[in-house]
Homo-oligomer: A and B are copies of this chain.
Amino acid sequence: MAEPKNDLPAVIVLGNPSFLKLYGEQFSSKFKLLKPWESSLPLNQFITTHAQSVPAMLCSGGTRVTPSLLRQFPSLRVIVTTSAGLNHMDLDECRRLGISVANAGTVFSEDVADFAVGLLIDVLRKVSAADRFVKNGLWPLHRDYPLASKVGGRKVGIVGLGSIGLEVAKRLEPFGCVISYQSRKKKPVPYPFYPDVHELATKCDVLVICCALTDQTRHLINKEVLLALGKQGIVINIARGAGLDVFENEPNVPEELLSLDNVVLSPHVAFLAEDSFQDLYELMSGNLEAFFFNKPLLTPVLDD
Protein backbone atom coordinates (compact mmCIF):
# COMPACT_ATOMS: atom_id res chain seq x y z
CA MET A 1 0.00 0.00 0.00
CA ALA A 2 1.22 3.51 -0.85
CA GLU A 3 2.29 5.83 1.98
CA PRO A 4 -0.10 8.70 2.64
CA LYS A 5 1.54 11.57 0.80
CA ASN A 6 1.62 14.08 3.59
CA ASP A 7 3.97 16.37 1.72
CA LEU A 8 1.28 17.14 -0.88
CA PRO A 9 -0.61 20.41 -0.50
CA ALA A 10 -3.90 20.03 1.37
CA VAL A 11 -7.21 20.75 -0.31
CA ILE A 12 -10.53 20.38 1.47
CA VAL A 13 -13.24 19.06 -0.85
CA LEU A 14 -16.86 20.01 -0.24
CA GLY A 15 -19.87 18.82 -2.20
CA ASN A 16 -18.26 15.60 -3.57
CA PRO A 17 -17.76 16.86 -7.15
CA SER A 18 -18.73 14.13 -9.60
CA PHE A 19 -15.63 14.41 -11.81
CA LEU A 20 -13.65 12.94 -8.88
CA LYS A 21 -15.34 9.61 -9.56
CA LEU A 22 -13.35 9.45 -12.79
CA TYR A 23 -10.30 11.57 -11.94
CA GLY A 24 -10.06 11.20 -8.16
CA GLU A 25 -6.94 9.07 -8.30
CA GLN A 26 -5.07 11.44 -10.59
CA PHE A 27 -6.15 14.34 -8.40
CA SER A 28 -4.96 12.58 -5.27
CA SER A 29 -1.50 12.12 -6.75
CA LYS A 30 -1.12 15.90 -6.78
CA PHE A 31 -3.00 17.06 -3.71
CA LYS A 32 -3.78 15.74 -0.27
CA LEU A 33 -7.57 15.71 -0.61
CA LEU A 34 -9.54 16.08 2.62
CA LYS A 35 -12.90 14.46 1.90
CA PRO A 36 -15.56 14.72 4.59
CA TRP A 37 -17.67 12.00 2.98
CA GLU A 38 -14.89 9.45 3.46
CA SER A 39 -14.42 10.37 7.11
CA SER A 40 -16.20 8.84 10.07
CA LEU A 41 -16.51 12.30 11.61
CA PRO A 42 -19.69 14.34 11.12
CA LEU A 43 -19.19 17.17 8.61
CA ASN A 44 -18.93 19.95 11.20
CA GLN A 45 -16.36 18.10 13.24
CA PHE A 46 -14.39 17.20 10.13
CA ILE A 47 -14.31 20.87 9.20
CA THR A 48 -13.23 21.93 12.71
CA THR A 49 -10.40 19.40 12.60
CA HIS A 50 -8.91 20.73 9.35
CA ALA A 51 -10.20 24.27 9.04
CA GLN A 52 -7.39 26.08 10.86
CA SER A 53 -4.65 25.12 8.46
CA VAL A 54 -6.15 24.25 5.08
CA PRO A 55 -5.25 26.82 2.39
CA ALA A 56 -7.38 25.55 -0.52
CA MET A 57 -10.93 24.38 -1.10
CA LEU A 58 -12.44 22.48 -4.03
CA CYS A 59 -16.22 22.64 -4.18
CA SER A 60 -19.13 22.02 -6.55
CA GLY A 61 -22.02 24.20 -7.66
CA GLY A 62 -24.20 22.70 -4.97
CA THR A 63 -21.96 23.84 -2.11
CA ARG A 64 -23.26 27.00 -0.43
CA VAL A 65 -20.17 29.07 0.37
CA THR A 66 -21.55 31.48 2.97
CA PRO A 67 -19.77 33.98 5.25
CA SER A 68 -20.33 31.65 8.20
CA LEU A 69 -18.66 28.75 6.36
CA LEU A 70 -15.77 30.99 5.33
CA ARG A 71 -15.26 32.24 8.89
CA GLN A 72 -14.37 28.66 9.88
CA PHE A 73 -11.36 28.62 7.49
CA PRO A 74 -8.90 31.32 8.65
CA SER A 75 -6.08 30.00 6.43
CA LEU A 76 -8.14 29.65 3.28
CA ARG A 77 -6.61 31.51 0.31
CA VAL A 78 -8.25 29.91 -2.74
CA ILE A 79 -11.57 28.29 -3.66
CA VAL A 80 -11.87 26.38 -6.93
CA THR A 81 -15.44 25.51 -7.93
CA THR A 82 -16.32 22.88 -10.53
CA SER A 83 -19.27 24.99 -11.67
CA ALA A 84 -19.35 27.78 -14.24
CA GLY A 85 -22.05 29.51 -12.18
CA LEU A 86 -21.08 31.35 -9.01
CA ASN A 87 -24.49 31.96 -7.46
CA HIS A 88 -23.71 29.48 -4.67
CA MET A 89 -20.82 31.61 -3.39
CA ASP A 90 -20.63 34.88 -1.50
CA LEU A 91 -18.05 36.53 -3.75
CA ASP A 92 -18.07 39.82 -1.84
CA GLU A 93 -17.07 37.98 1.32
CA CYS A 94 -14.32 36.09 -0.53
CA ARG A 95 -12.98 39.39 -1.84
CA ARG A 96 -13.06 40.93 1.66
CA LEU A 97 -11.19 37.95 3.10
CA GLY A 98 -8.59 37.97 0.33
CA ILE A 99 -9.63 34.53 -0.94
CA SER A 100 -9.08 33.96 -4.67
CA VAL A 101 -11.80 32.14 -6.58
CA ALA A 102 -11.61 30.13 -9.80
CA ASN A 103 -14.45 28.44 -11.63
CA ALA A 104 -14.99 25.99 -14.49
CA GLY A 105 -14.50 28.81 -16.98
CA THR A 106 -15.71 27.73 -20.42
CA VAL A 107 -15.03 23.99 -20.01
CA PHE A 108 -18.74 23.24 -20.31
CA SER A 109 -19.75 25.94 -22.78
CA GLU A 110 -19.84 23.67 -25.84
CA ASP A 111 -21.71 20.90 -24.04
CA VAL A 112 -24.26 23.29 -22.63
CA ALA A 113 -24.70 24.87 -26.07
CA ASP A 114 -25.13 21.41 -27.65
CA PHE A 115 -27.78 20.57 -25.11
CA ALA A 116 -29.57 23.89 -25.62
CA VAL A 117 -29.77 23.18 -29.35
CA GLY A 118 -30.94 19.64 -28.61
CA LEU A 119 -33.71 20.98 -26.36
CA LEU A 120 -34.75 23.54 -28.99
CA ILE A 121 -34.97 20.93 -31.76
CA ASP A 122 -36.78 18.65 -29.33
CA VAL A 123 -39.43 21.23 -28.41
CA LEU A 124 -39.96 22.43 -32.00
CA ARG A 125 -39.89 19.03 -33.66
CA LYS A 126 -41.39 17.12 -30.68
CA VAL A 127 -38.60 14.54 -30.51
CA SER A 128 -39.19 13.37 -26.90
CA ALA A 129 -42.94 13.44 -27.42
CA ALA A 130 -42.53 11.39 -30.60
CA ASP A 131 -40.37 8.90 -28.73
CA ARG A 132 -43.07 8.60 -26.06
CA PHE A 133 -45.74 8.22 -28.76
CA VAL A 134 -43.89 5.29 -30.36
CA LYS A 135 -42.74 3.67 -27.10
CA ASN A 136 -46.25 3.81 -25.67
CA GLY A 137 -47.50 1.93 -28.72
CA LEU A 138 -49.69 4.77 -29.99
CA TRP A 139 -48.41 4.88 -33.57
CA PRO A 140 -50.43 1.89 -34.88
CA LEU A 141 -53.53 3.26 -33.11
CA HIS A 142 -53.47 6.92 -34.12
CA ARG A 143 -51.35 6.94 -37.27
CA ASP A 144 -51.28 10.75 -37.54
CA TYR A 145 -48.74 12.34 -35.27
CA PRO A 146 -49.32 16.04 -34.45
CA LEU A 147 -47.50 18.43 -36.74
CA ALA A 148 -44.29 19.94 -35.43
CA SER A 149 -42.70 23.30 -36.25
CA LYS A 150 -39.76 24.01 -38.51
CA VAL A 151 -36.43 25.02 -36.96
CA GLY A 152 -35.32 27.12 -39.96
CA GLY A 153 -36.50 30.71 -40.00
CA ARG A 154 -37.21 30.67 -36.25
CA LYS A 155 -36.31 34.01 -34.62
CA VAL A 156 -34.08 33.06 -31.71
CA GLY A 157 -33.16 35.57 -29.01
CA ILE A 158 -30.14 34.71 -26.91
CA VAL A 159 -30.26 36.14 -23.41
CA GLY A 160 -26.66 36.62 -22.31
CA LEU A 161 -24.11 36.36 -25.12
CA GLY A 162 -21.17 34.94 -23.19
CA SER A 163 -19.22 31.86 -24.25
CA ILE A 164 -22.30 29.60 -24.08
CA GLY A 165 -24.54 32.06 -25.92
CA LEU A 166 -21.97 32.45 -28.70
CA GLU A 167 -21.68 28.68 -29.11
CA VAL A 168 -25.47 28.42 -29.32
CA ALA A 169 -25.58 31.13 -32.00
CA LYS A 170 -22.83 29.47 -34.02
CA ARG A 171 -24.70 26.15 -33.98
CA LEU A 172 -28.11 27.60 -34.87
CA GLU A 173 -26.92 29.62 -37.85
CA PRO A 174 -26.71 26.70 -40.32
CA PHE A 175 -30.24 25.69 -39.30
CA GLY A 176 -31.38 28.99 -40.79
CA CYS A 177 -32.41 30.49 -37.44
CA VAL A 178 -32.43 34.27 -37.25
CA ILE A 179 -30.31 35.23 -34.24
CA SER A 180 -30.49 38.33 -32.05
CA TYR A 181 -29.34 38.85 -28.46
CA GLN A 182 -29.55 40.71 -25.21
CA SER A 183 -26.48 41.33 -23.12
CA ARG A 184 -25.09 43.86 -20.67
CA LYS A 185 -23.18 45.45 -23.52
CA LYS A 186 -23.06 45.23 -27.30
CA LYS A 187 -20.60 42.63 -28.61
CA PRO A 188 -18.57 42.51 -31.83
CA VAL A 189 -20.98 40.06 -33.52
CA PRO A 190 -23.19 40.40 -36.59
CA TYR A 191 -26.45 39.80 -34.65
CA PRO A 192 -28.90 42.56 -33.72
CA PHE A 193 -28.43 43.70 -30.11
CA TYR A 194 -31.25 44.57 -27.71
CA PRO A 195 -30.23 45.93 -24.31
CA ASP A 196 -33.65 45.01 -22.93
CA VAL A 197 -34.95 41.42 -22.61
CA HIS A 198 -38.56 42.54 -22.99
CA GLU A 199 -37.77 44.16 -26.35
CA LEU A 200 -35.84 41.06 -27.43
CA ALA A 201 -38.87 38.92 -26.55
CA THR A 202 -41.18 41.04 -28.72
CA LYS A 203 -38.86 40.39 -31.70
CA CYS A 204 -38.41 36.64 -31.16
CA ASP A 205 -40.21 33.27 -31.19
CA VAL A 206 -37.64 31.59 -28.96
CA LEU A 207 -35.56 32.77 -26.01
CA VAL A 208 -32.47 30.78 -25.08
CA ILE A 209 -31.41 31.79 -21.59
CA CYS A 210 -27.62 31.67 -21.37
CA CYS A 211 -26.87 34.32 -18.75
CA ALA A 212 -25.37 33.65 -15.34
CA LEU A 213 -27.67 33.77 -12.34
CA THR A 214 -26.89 36.94 -10.42
CA ASP A 215 -28.93 39.38 -8.37
CA GLN A 216 -29.47 41.27 -11.64
CA THR A 217 -30.70 38.28 -13.66
CA ARG A 218 -32.82 36.50 -11.03
CA HIS A 219 -36.43 36.37 -12.29
CA LEU A 220 -35.35 38.23 -15.44
CA ILE A 221 -37.77 36.14 -17.52
CA ASN A 222 -40.92 37.39 -15.84
CA LYS A 223 -44.57 37.41 -16.84
CA GLU A 224 -44.20 40.50 -19.04
CA VAL A 225 -41.31 38.97 -20.98
CA LEU A 226 -43.29 35.76 -21.51
CA LEU A 227 -46.31 37.75 -22.70
CA ALA A 228 -44.08 39.66 -25.12
CA LEU A 229 -42.71 36.36 -26.42
CA GLY A 230 -46.27 35.28 -27.13
CA LYS A 231 -48.36 32.15 -26.85
CA GLN A 232 -46.35 30.19 -29.42
CA GLY A 233 -43.10 31.31 -27.81
CA ILE A 234 -40.48 28.88 -26.60
CA VAL A 235 -38.11 29.27 -23.67
CA ILE A 236 -34.94 27.18 -23.51
CA ASN A 237 -33.29 27.52 -20.15
CA ILE A 238 -29.89 26.03 -19.71
CA ALA A 239 -29.02 28.78 -17.27
CA ARG A 240 -30.57 28.54 -13.82
CA GLY A 241 -33.73 29.20 -11.86
CA ALA A 242 -36.67 29.01 -14.24
CA GLY A 243 -37.40 26.55 -16.99
CA LEU A 244 -36.11 23.38 -18.45
CA ASP A 245 -32.71 21.93 -17.72
CA VAL A 246 -32.59 24.06 -14.60
CA PHE A 247 -35.18 24.80 -11.92
CA GLU A 248 -35.47 27.04 -8.92
CA ASN A 249 -35.65 24.29 -6.28
CA GLU A 250 -33.81 21.33 -7.74
CA PRO A 251 -34.46 18.43 -7.73
CA ASN A 252 -38.05 19.47 -7.14
CA VAL A 253 -39.80 20.40 -10.35
CA PRO A 254 -43.11 22.29 -10.37
CA GLU A 255 -45.87 19.67 -10.56
CA GLU A 256 -47.60 21.57 -13.40
CA LEU A 257 -44.65 21.00 -15.73
CA LEU A 258 -44.46 17.24 -15.31
CA SER A 259 -47.43 16.32 -17.45
CA LEU A 260 -46.94 18.84 -20.25
CA ASP A 261 -46.21 17.27 -23.61
CA ASN A 262 -44.78 20.50 -25.01
CA VAL A 263 -42.25 20.85 -22.22
CA VAL A 264 -38.98 18.93 -22.25
CA LEU A 265 -37.36 18.63 -18.86
CA SER A 266 -33.91 17.46 -17.89
CA PRO A 267 -32.20 17.16 -14.53
CA HIS A 268 -29.61 19.96 -14.86
CA VAL A 269 -27.36 17.90 -17.09
CA ALA A 270 -26.69 20.29 -19.96
CA PHE A 271 -23.04 20.42 -18.90
CA LEU A 272 -22.72 16.71 -18.22
CA ALA A 273 -20.81 14.87 -20.89
CA GLU A 274 -18.38 12.27 -19.67
CA ASP A 275 -15.75 13.29 -22.21
CA SER A 276 -15.58 16.78 -20.68
CA PHE A 277 -14.59 15.57 -17.24
CA GLN A 278 -10.99 15.28 -18.29
CA ASP A 279 -10.97 18.95 -19.25
CA LEU A 280 -12.59 19.78 -15.92
CA TYR A 281 -10.05 17.68 -14.04
CA GLU A 282 -7.19 19.44 -15.81
CA LEU A 283 -8.66 22.86 -15.12
CA MET A 284 -9.40 22.22 -11.44
CA SER A 285 -5.99 20.67 -10.94
CA GLY A 286 -4.32 23.48 -12.95
CA ASN A 287 -6.00 26.14 -10.81
CA LEU A 288 -4.86 24.51 -7.60
CA GLU A 289 -1.32 23.98 -8.91
CA ALA A 290 -1.17 27.60 -10.01
CA PHE A 291 -2.22 28.62 -6.53
CA PHE A 292 0.37 26.45 -4.81
CA PHE A 293 3.11 27.65 -7.19
CA ASN A 294 2.12 31.29 -6.69
CA LYS A 295 1.05 31.66 -10.29
CA PRO A 296 -2.11 33.38 -11.57
CA LEU A 297 -5.26 31.22 -11.48
CA LEU A 298 -6.30 29.89 -14.90
CA THR A 299 -9.96 30.88 -14.55
CA PRO A 300 -9.98 33.57 -11.87
CA VAL A 301 -13.35 34.95 -10.93
CA LEU A 302 -12.46 37.90 -8.73
CA ASP A 303 -10.35 40.78 -9.95
CA ASP A 304 -7.35 39.94 -7.80
Contact = CB atoms under 8 A, between A and B. Distances in A.
Contacts of A148: 269, 272-274
A289 interface: no
Nearest to A143: B251
Nearest to A250: B139
A42 B191 CA distance: 57
Given A134-B266, A134-B267, A145-B272, A118 B127 contact: yes
> Chain A interface residue count: which class?
35 or more
Given A135-B265, A149-B274, 7 more contacts: A110-B176, A111-B150, A128-B131, A130-B267, A149-B273, A150-B275, A150-B276
Contact of A121 (B121, B251, B269): B121
A37 interface: no
Interface of A: 18, 110-111, 114-115, 117-119, 121-122, 124-128, 130-135, 137, 139-140, 143-145, 147-153, 170-171, 173-176, 250-253, 258-259, 264-267, 269, 272-277
Contacts of A122: 118, 122, 127-128, 131
When all copies of this chain in the complex are counted, the total is: 2
The 8 closest A-B CB pairs, nearest first, are: A118-B121, A130-B266, A150-B273, A139-B251, A134-B265, A150-B275, A147-B274, A128-B128
Contact of A114 (B119, B140, B175, B251): B175
A87 B285 CA distance: 57
B131 A125 contact: no
Contacts of A274: 147-150
Contacts of A175: 110, 114, 117, 171
Contact of A140 (B131, B152, B251): B251
A159 B272 CA distance: 29
A111 B125 CA distance: 9
A23 to B, nearest CB: 13
A130 B151 CA distance: 22
A133 B250 CA distance: 13
A125 B115 contact: yes
A118 B124 CA distance: 10
Nearest to A176: B110
A121 B114 contact: yes
Given A265-B135, A274-B149, A121 B117 contact: yes
Given A127-B122, A133-B267, A175-B171, A151 B258 contact: no
A258 to B, nearest CB: 5
A252 B140 contact: yes
Nearest to A62: B143
B110 A152 contact: yes
17 contacts: A111-B125, A111-B151, A115-B125, A117-B121, A124-B273, A125-B269, A126-B269, A127-B127, A128-B128, A133-B266, A135-B265, A140-B252, A145-B272, A147-B277, A150-B274, A151-B273, A153-B275
